[in-house]
Amino acid sequence: MSKTIAGGTGQRTAAEWHGAYAARLVVSDLLVLCIVVFGVQFARFGSRSLDEIVSDTRGQNPLSYWLVSIILIAAWMLMLKLFDTRSFTDLSSGSIEYRLIADGAVRLFGIVAIVAFVFTLDIARSYILVAFPLGLTALLLSRFYARRWLVSQNRKGRFAWRVLLVGSVESVLFIANELSRQARSGYVVVGACVPGGSVLPADSGIPVVGTLDEVREALVSISADTVVVAGNGDLSQEGLRELTWSLEPGRQHLIVSPGLVNVGGLRIRTRPVAGLPLMHIQIPRYSGWEHYAKRVFDLIVASLLIVVLSPLMIAIALVLRLSGSGPVLFRQQRVGMNGMPFQMLKFRSMVPDAEARLASLGASGGGRPAERDAGNAVLFKMKNDPRVTPFGAWLRRFSFDELPQFFNVLRGNMSLVGPRPPLRIEVDSYENHVHRRFLVKPGVTGLWQVSGRSNLSWEDSVRLDLYYVENWSVMGDLVILARTAKAVITGVGAY
């Protein structure tokens, strides 16, 4: 094939750069595990490492801990391979990659425990209980930094899969728009095949390179390596089957988008029945043990954060009290779970009569349109709101004004992670489907905060909130909390 994609030292095909990147991961994984496992061994046994042995309870079949460490490292590398942690299909999704690594580590820990029990091996508990969590943490950190490098390359259009979209004009434009939102995913749209006679808008920037019957020829002509079928309703079953036969294994890839929106990967299960790849979609549940676990997690973490951050909150309260008139806390009625109202707490960041000035700013144009939150017709935001005090602007810059919301979490009005808590006036303008956001508690943080906050359009805000409601998970909450720290530091969209 003649296609090439820019690489670090020259021009490489997509398959070649993926193979090289996967090989680098093998080396880094092995290096990390060797440092951790042998380091734990030395820390546990010190200079006696060469003489220490592990044996069964009868003193038979002694094994050196050096051999045990080597076996453990080899088994861990095998689990990383068996769980396909270096597959190109998972490298575009960090959460999936990290979950597979964690799953492999947990399974290996279980296997080691079973083997030690069955063969009555007297393995030092401290050696195992330190090596596994430390090794898993080191692997995740190593992959995190490797992924950051890969994402930086993807944003520059390098090390990316060249995509040919196939389907109707509407489905092609939808998929192209969604992929453009996530430049870090590593997919670059280079052309489209649409039904004969159809054209794409000139401002889409996507050239039409063929019809639905010319996919194979179009793939070669634009040096694409990935075909994305945007809903196969416009492509016959025979055409789709022949397309799969015509692709070169290992170098060209086929992706089928079923047209499902706001459905996370954890809810999708594919089950082959009589030669048919049936896709099962798990219906979201809003009760059960996971939600009890979420509540317990909220209580524990919110309590700890209040204790740790209490000096900062006391200092902020003193500054607000000494800075002039007005209350320390700003109380505002918001709409929570099941549409029930509650009082949300924040540190006051505006002048005392801010609510009275809102009407003049919104109705009579107290702020120029350029100062308003771009594209958001429902949420009133201004980048240079005259009602915000200098100290309040600093609080908003680092989201310190939202710290009292941890008390809302303790009360049960809010969760640490969830949709943005709306005002009643906003709810009155909601379309019917937007009310699904009230199936869960609003959050102190959420996808809206780690994805741009006030810079988001109303449509994007709704899309992110509904995606969270439909696909909530414990692991997803942990990822959002981790991303929140970065969003707070950068202050993107905080005004």
Q: Please say if the pLDDT value at position 495 is more than 60.
A: no
Q: How far apart are CA 218 and CA 356, in angstroms?
A: 61
Instruction: Provide DSSP, 419-475.
Output: SPPPPHHHHTT--GGGGGGGGS--EEE-HHHHTTGGGS-HHHHHHHHHHHHHH--HH
Would you say 35 and 138 are in contact if contact means Cβ atoms under 8 Å apart?
yes
Fold classified for 161-259? Rossmann fold (3.40.50)
Q: How far apart are CA 420 and CA 448, in angstroms?
A: 7
pLDDT band at 314 (very low <50, low <70, confident <90, very high): very high
Q: Please say if the pLDDT value at position 357 is more than 50.
A: yes
Amino acid 153: pLDDT: 80
Give the rounded percent of residues in the chain with a pLDDT score beyond 70: 78
Q: Please say if the pLDDT value at position 385 is more than 50.
A: yes
| Least confident stretch, 188-202, 281-295, 355-369, 430-444 | 355-369
Among 195, 280, 278, 178, which residue's Cα sits nearest to residue 233?
195
Q: Please say if the pLDDT value at position 162 is more than 60.
A: yes
- Supply the pTM of this predicted model: 0.64
pLDDT band at 378 (very low <50, low <70, confident <90, very high): low
For the segment 7-28, the average pLDDT, to the nearest whole number, is 73
Q: H or E stretch including 362?
A: helix 354-363
Would you say 210 and 243 are in contact if contact means Cβ atoms under 8 Å apart?
no
Buried b (16+ CB within 10 A) or exposed e, 258-273: eeeeebbeebeeeeee
| Least confident stretch, 6-20, 322-336, 375-389, 410-424 | 6-20
Amino acid 444: pLDDT: 94
SS3 356: helix
Please indicate whether residue 396 or residue 46 has the higher confidence score (pLDDT). 396
Domains of the chain, residue spans: 5-155, 161-259, 289-490
pLDDT band at 329 (very low <50, low <70, confident <90, very high): very high
Backbone φ and ψ for 276, nearest 5 degrees, come out as: -105, 125
Q: Please say if the pLDDT value at position 200 is more than 60.
A: yes
Amino acid 148: pLDDT: 85
- Residue 444 CB contacts under 8 Å (≥ 6 apart), including other chains: 402, 405, 406, 408, 409, 414, 415, 416, 417, 418
Q: How far apart are CA 72 and CA 108, in angstroms?
A: 9
Q: Please say if the pLDDT value at position 367 is more than 50.
A: no
Q: Please say if the pLDDT value at position 418 is more than 90.
A: yes
pLDDT band at 430 (very low <50, low <70, confident <90, very high): confident
Would you say 228 and 164 are in contact if contact means Cβ atoms under 8 Å apart?
yes
Among 33, 129, 41, which residue's Cα sits nearest to residue 81?
33
Amino acid 382: pLDDT: 66
Q: Please say if the pLDDT value at position 10 is more than 50.
A: no
Q: Please say if the pLDDT value at position 321 is more than 70.
A: yes
Q: H or E stretch including 113?
A: helix 94-118
- Residue 111 CB contacts under 8 Å (≥ 6 apart), including other chains: 75
Within 13 Å, how many C-alpha atoms sit on residue 109's CB side? Answer: 17
Beta-strand pair 276-281/415-417 = unpaired
Q: Please say if the pLDDT value at position 39 is more than 80.
A: yes
Q: Please say if the pLDDT value at position 139 is more than 70.
A: yes
| Least confident stretch, 15-29, 40-54, 379-393, 442-456 | 40-54
Beta-strand pair 415-417/443-445 = parallel
What's the mean per-residue pLDDT of the chain?
A: 80
| Least confident stretch, 33-37, 302-306, 326-330 | 326-330
Among 34, 129, 134, 28, which residue's Cα sits nearest to residue 85?
28
Chain Cα centroid distance, residue 145: 15
Give the rounded percent of residues in the chain with a pLDDT score beyond 90: 28
For the segment 458-484, the average pLDDT, to the nearest whole number, is 83
- Each residue's pLDDT tens digit, 64-116: 778 889 999 999 999 999 998 887 665 656 677 888 899 999 999 999 989 88
Amino acid 343: pLDDT: 95
For 223: left if phi > 0, alpha if psi spans -120 to 50, otherwise beta; the answer is left
Sheet strands (E) in 125-185:
161-166
Q: Please say if the pLDDT value at position 410 is more than 70.
A: yes
- Each residue's pLDDT tens digit, 237-281: 788 888 888 888 877 888 888 766 666 556 676 777 766 677 777
Q: Both tokens of residue 225?
A: 């390596």
Q: Please say if the pLDDT value at position 11 is more than 60.
A: no
Backbone φ and ψ for 428, nearest 5 degrees, come out as: -65, -20
Would you say 120 and 97 are in contact if contact means Cβ atoms under 8 Å apart?
no
